[in-house]
Structure 1
Amino acid sequence: MARFSSNSFVRLFLSATGVVASLTVNVDDAASVKKAAALVAEDLMSFYTGEVPGLLPGPPPEGDYYPWTGGAIWAAMLDYRSRTGDTQYDDKISQGLLWQRGSNNDFLPANWSATAGNDDQAIWGMAALAAAETGFAGPGVDNLKWLDLVQNVFDEQSSDARRVANGSCAGGLRWQIFTFNSGYNYISTLANVAYANLGARLSIQDGKNQTQAKSVEDTFNWLQTSKFIDAKFNVYDGASVPECDQVNRVQTSFAAGLAVEGAAVMYNATSGEKKWKNILDGLVQRTIDVFFPDGVATEVACEPSQCNTDMTFFKYFLHRSLASTMKVAPYTTSLIQPVLKTSAQAAVESCTGGDNKRMCGLVWSAHGNNHTGAGPQMSVLGALLSLLPVETAVNASNSSSSTGTSGTNNATTSTAGSSEPSNSNTPKNSGARSGVSAGVVLGSLLLASFALN
């Protein structure tokens, strides 16, 4: 795979009206990146029909997408809004988040709560947290603030009812919420790092809340003690109760990215405490080594041809989490920024598909288009946005749905979705959902390749 100069130009050919036009993107020029991001965001939103407010069409077999991807798309669009100043999607963002908040304001609405996992709920919580972090206009209903929704999610996931009570898995957050789902006895690393990520960022919003910070520290300690994050800072998929001694060693960029960002926020919150710096340094280096071969983001567990729909979203979170890490731990910039640039350039080269000849693909190292959809589109958007700073202030639109009390804006990070483990301890897909921590196709067959030395 070729490396790209950060000063090179990437050309997209656009033919929405049948007339081919070209857009030149310079990854070192913010205005140029914003123009490209606007087109990628527009094409991403073409997958959202609004038939069920807040959700992409699905779940399978009715459509391609599970409910968690709705939370993911609003987190992405909030990130887009905060980095470009484009407020045209404000109504859809606000309506989507509010429609799916549920009767208990915890993102477990009746239409899909029975099949939701802890990771799914956390992703929706992250979308609301992104709204608070970026100063998005408040919900405007029931005196709610975005942070109220986030706190409800975090409190529920902190409860003993969501966790393993006995054995060496004790304390681990379960993948599934309800006992009747087959993944209930699987302990997903993604669910646990999503919880820690949510708690770390929430603690900053809440004036460095020590209770939340302690929960984050306990979670990282548990993940390392249980070898879900090993001594070399590989972030593995999870394990089954009761003992968690057979760790599924498949690795996904989503889990690794959230772990990096969570550690970075704690490093910031503790004024560079040595423990958190050591964890952050290890996670950043290992994440780059595993997921950026030759400087281009690669979902190593499934590319080029075995990724399921859930996994096509993961590289968005990888780029976003690393961009956030540079903000809260600036010393990491020299290591992170070069791969974000080379990866973004390769990502844009994949955007040659669809009727408009600009839909983005999944495999960026192939220099061609492949597997288009909301996931690849969102991932390329994330790659572009990772090159842009957060705008200092973004005015809310004038729409009535965007009015209300704004969440606090003290966060030091921007925002931050599940795959199916595939060894003999892996639960079967629970039918109505896939969960982000389960969907790693051929995981056990690929194990030897990804359990790197």
Structure 2
Amino acid sequence: MRVLGTLTGLLAGTRLLAPAQAIELDLSREESIKSAAELTTWGAMSYYSGNESGHSPGAIANKWYEGSVLFLCAMYYWHFTGDSTYNQEVRVGLEHQAGDGDYLPGNFSQYLGNDDQGFWGIAAMTATELNLPDYGQYSWLSLAQGVFNTQTRRNSGWDDTTCGGGVRWQQFNYMSGYTLKNAISNGLLFQLSARLYRYTNDEQYAQWAEKIWDWSNEYLIDNQTWVIADSVTTTQECKVKGYGDNSYNDSSFLMGLAYLYNHTTGATQAKWEQALFGLANKTLQLYFPAKYGNIEFEPTCDPYPNQCFDSNNMLFKGHTSSWLGWTAILVPDLYEQIMHVLQITATAAAAACTGPGQGGNQCGSAWYQSKFDKRPGMEPQISASDLFSVNMIPFIQPTAKKVLGPLTSSTGGTSTSNPNAGMNDNSNEVLLAPITTGDRAGAGILTAIFVAGWVGGLSWMFME
């Protein structure tokens, strides 16, 4: 267990005095995996200053949405290892950034994308399913419901006025990207709806999940090849697509499919089964390619150290490995296939954690190289922690007090429901100052192309 604050700085300084070494990882030993997860989680949390005087709990400077991703990392670590060191920081930060119960806080709402808000909703839903004790004014479940409500009931989120539906990337009409409907925003709302359905058994969430999926199938997803377009633009009636292989697009939808498959039967389950196994096979083949020994690989970032446009890309592997881990739990028929590539990847990632810097043993981003790629930071630490944490799955056996998979309201979940959460918040109807890109999760497209006009069928690399 590690302690934040002054002791963190002292420990970091001590580590910098010694040459960094690769993390020693023995996948046959539970304690070895725990140690790797402990080290990388501490490394990620050492970048967090929200628990210090004068700082805002939950906020990461210039990267507001990444606070939710950091807390997801800490919650995965807690669930799979049992180490609750960071739980209080998570509880305080998740509550502090809640706004009026829907993750539209006034100090960030002027540049919120629906994907940014969506990630905070996923974090709240994860806290709900893992039974993190509720804290403060809002329950975790109500916060997840607040995000769902604000995104499905306003044209600034789900928009029926163009292209028959779909979630916009941005929430204000003066924002660069407002005319785009992107995969990650729709994938996160789809996933959140599916998870709310499984947790509450409320059919409204199932209906919305199906609605989002059907729209995405028409405009974003090719259900023959399972290629997912990164974005479409309303100015082209959502017929012209921007492509970019970003793994979190695929895995955000895959996670939602796993929840729906797990919680349905009969003809309804059959619909989700076809999509689930089709998208799973494509995801594993593309992002864990045989040519790199089935090590996790991010096509838009890993091969291009000077062209990997921002730190968001370095989080994609963490999202994907963690969501695949949960998919393996929810869908036993995919367990062996998924755990096989996650274990191979963990060995490569451990070899890539040899960099100096904050905390020592800094992890690189391009794991397929099995060496440090000189791209350290909070994001590679989060991704490595996510990966090591889910590699604990084979060692965890459910007991009367510990359930391996996500809880529901009928299997021990205790968070309080508020189906009307967020319905009275008008904050995203107020026009505020123009945005910058630093605090956004980002769509995987070059939005300037849309502004200038672009040729149908054009593909391009990821850029916020």
- Counterpart position of 1:350: 352
* Whole-angstrom distance in 2 between the partners of 1:34 and 1:325: 21
Corresponding residue to 1:196 among 174, 184, 190: 190
Cα deviation for residue 271 of structure 1 reads: 3.0
- By how many angstroms is 1:110 displaced? 1.0
Mapped partners of 2:233, 2:399: distance in 1: 45
Does 1:109 pair with 2:108? Answer: no
1:320 and 2:322 are equivalent in the alignment: yes
Change (3 A) 1:411 1:330: farther
Aligned-partner Cα distance in 2 for 1:443–1:326 = 39
Give the drift of 1:441: 7.2
**Residue deviations 1:23-61 (CA, integer Å, cap 9, x gap):** 6311232221011110111111111112221022x21xx
In structure 2, distance between residues paired with 1:449 and 1:185 = 18
Residue 217 of structure 2 corresponds to which residue in structure 1? 224
Aligned ranges 1:179-258 → 2 under 5 Å: 179-206=173-200, 208-242=201-235, 243-258=237-252
Aligned partner of residue 184 in structure 1, secondary structure: coil
Paired amino acid for 2:77: Y
Q: Tell me the residue number matched to 1:383.
A: 387
Paired amino acid for 1:40: T
| Distance (Å, rounded) in 2 between the aligned partners of 1:265 and 1:33 | 27
Q: How does 1:109-148 map to 2 (within 5 A)?
A: 109-139=105-135, 141-142=136-137, 144-148=138-142
Q: 1:439 to 1:275 in 2, by over 3 A?
A: closer
Provide closer, same or farther for how the CA distance between residues 19 and 359 of structure 1 changes in structure 2, counting only shifts above 3 A. Answer: closer
Among candidates 332, 335, 341, match of residue 334 of structure 2: 332
SS in 2 for 1:40: helix
Contact 1:133 1:411 in 2 (8 A): no
Counterparts of 1:378-417 in structure 2 under 5 Å? 378-389=382-393, 408=409, 410=411
| Aligned twin of 2:46 | 46
2:312 to 310, 313, 331: 310
The one-letter code sitting in structure 1 at the alignment partner of 2:97 is Q
Call closer, same or farther: CA 1:92–1:229 in 2, change over 3 Å: farther
With over 3 angstroms needed to count, the CA separation of the structure-2 counterparts of 1:238 and 1:434, relative to structure 1, is: farther
The Cα shift of 1:430 comes to 4.8
CA separation of 1:152/1:436 partners in 2, compared to 1, >3 Å: closer, same or farther? same
Report the number of matched residues: 400
Separation in 1, partners of 2:215, 2:444: 24
Q: With structure 2 as the length reference, what TM-score do the two structures score?
A: 0.80
What SS does the aligned partner of 1:26 have? coil
Distance 1:447 1:388, change over 3 A: farther
Please report how far the alpha carbon of residue 443 of structure 1 lies from its aligned counterpart in structure 2 after TM superposition.
12
Distance in 2, Cα, partners of 1:410 & 1:190: 30
Q: Which letter does structure 1 place at the counterpart of 2:317?
A: K
The partner residue of 1:68 within 60, 65, 68 is 65
Q: Specify the alignment match of 1:82 in structure 2.
A: 79
Assess, with a 3 A threshold, how the Cα gap between structure 1 residues 110 and 166 changes in structure 2: closer, same or farther. Answer: closer
Checking the alignment, whether the CA contact within 8 Å between 1:189 and 1:437 is kept in structure 2 is no
Once residues 35 and 363 of structure 1 are traced to their aligned partners in structure 2, the CA distance between those partners, rounded to angstroms, is: 21
Q: CA deviation at 1:327?
A: 0.9
Instruction: Output the CA distance in 1 between the equivalents of 2:66 and 2:40.
Output: 17
CA contact (8 A) 2:64 2:439 kept: no
Q: In the TM superposition, what is the alpha-carbon distance from 1:367 to its structure 2 partner?
A: 2.4
Q: Does 1:285 align with 2:285?
A: no
Tell me, what secondary structure is at the counterpart of 1:187? strand
1:180 shift after superposition = 1.9
CA-CA distance at 1:148 after TM superposition: 0.7
Aligned to 2:369: 366
Amino acid at match of 2:326: S
Aligned AA for 1:334? Answer: E
* Partner AA of 2:441 in structure 1: V
Q: Where do 5+ consecutive residues of structure 1 fail to align?
A: 1-13, 60-65, 396-405, 413-428
- Which letter does structure 2 place at the counterpart of 1:99? H
- Aligned AA (1:155): N
CA RMSD of aligned residues (A): 2.9
Shift of 1:179: 1.6
